[in-house]
C-alpha cells in the first residue's frame, strides 16, 4: 500500500464508489425515498420510474463521492498547516470508509435493516476508524486527529442534526 499510494488510492476510490452506489440504491429502494420526491416526479413526469431511480442514485453517489474528496482535501490542508512532516494519502480515509460501507450494504441489502440511526452511528464509527487507521500507519496522534477531524466533524453534525430533528 505504501509503495504505490496513488494506485491504492485509485483502486480504493473505485471500490468506494461502487459500494456507495449499492448502498444508495438499497437506501432509496428499500426505504421508499423515491415516493417522497413528488416535486421531482412532477418535474420529470415523462421519465420512467427506473430511469428516475437511476438518475437519483447516480447523482447521490457523485455528490457523496465529492463530499468525501472535499473532506480529504480539508484533512490534507490541516496536515500541511499543522503537521507538514506527515503525508496523508486518500486510501487512509477510503479503507475505513469502504469497510463501513460494506457493513451498511450487508445490513441494508441482506439483513434488511432499515434504521437511519444505525447508519448515522456507522458513519461516526467509520470516522473514528479513520483516526485509528491513520494512527496505526503513521504513529502520530497529532497528525491522526488532524487528518480525521473533517470526517469526525461531518459524522457528528449529521448525527446532531438528526437528534435535534427528533426533539
Each of the 167 residues of the chain gets a pLDDT tens digit; together they read 567 888 998 999 999 999 999 888 877 777 666 556 666 666 666 777 677 778 888 988 999 999 999 999 999 999 999 999 998 899 999 999 999 988 988 888 788 777 778 888 999 999 999 999 999 999 999 999 999 999 999 999 988 988 888 87
Q: Where are the domains of the chain?
A: 5-166
- Report the C-alpha dihedral over residues 15, 134, 59, 52, rounded to 10 degrees: 60
Q: Could you tell me the pTM of the whole model? A: 0.85
Residue 12 · residue 92 · CB < 8 Å: no
Amino acid at each position: 500500500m505504501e509503495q504505490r499510494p496513488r494506485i491504492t488510492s485509485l483502486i480504493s476510490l473505485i471500490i468506494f464508489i461502487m459500494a456507495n452506489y449499492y448502498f444508495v440504491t438499497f437506501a432509496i429502494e428499500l426505504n421508499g425515498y423515491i415516493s417522497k420526491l413528488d416535486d421531482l416526479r412532477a418535474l420529470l413526469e415523462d421519465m420512467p420510474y427506473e430511469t428516475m431511480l437511476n438518475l437519483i442514485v447516480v447523482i447521490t453517489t457523485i455528490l457523496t463521492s465529492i463530499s468525501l474528496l472535499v473532506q480529504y482535501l480539508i484533512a490534507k490542508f490541516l496536515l500541511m498547516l499543522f503537521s507538514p512532516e506527515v503525508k496523508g494519502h486518500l486510501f487512509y480515509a477510503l479503507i475505513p470508509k469502504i469497510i463501513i460501507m460494506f457493513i451498511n450494504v450487508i445490513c441494508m441489502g441482506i439483513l434488511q435493516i432499515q434504521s437511519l440511526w444505525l447508519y448515522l452511528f456507522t458513519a461516526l464509527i467509520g470516522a473514528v476508524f479513520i483516526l485509528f487507521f491513520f494512527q496505526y500507519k503513521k504513529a502520530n496522534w497529532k497528525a491522526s486527529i488532524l487528518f480525521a477531524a473533517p470526517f469526525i466533524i461531518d459524522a457528528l453534525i449529521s448525527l446532531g442534526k438528526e437528534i435535534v430533528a427528533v426533539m
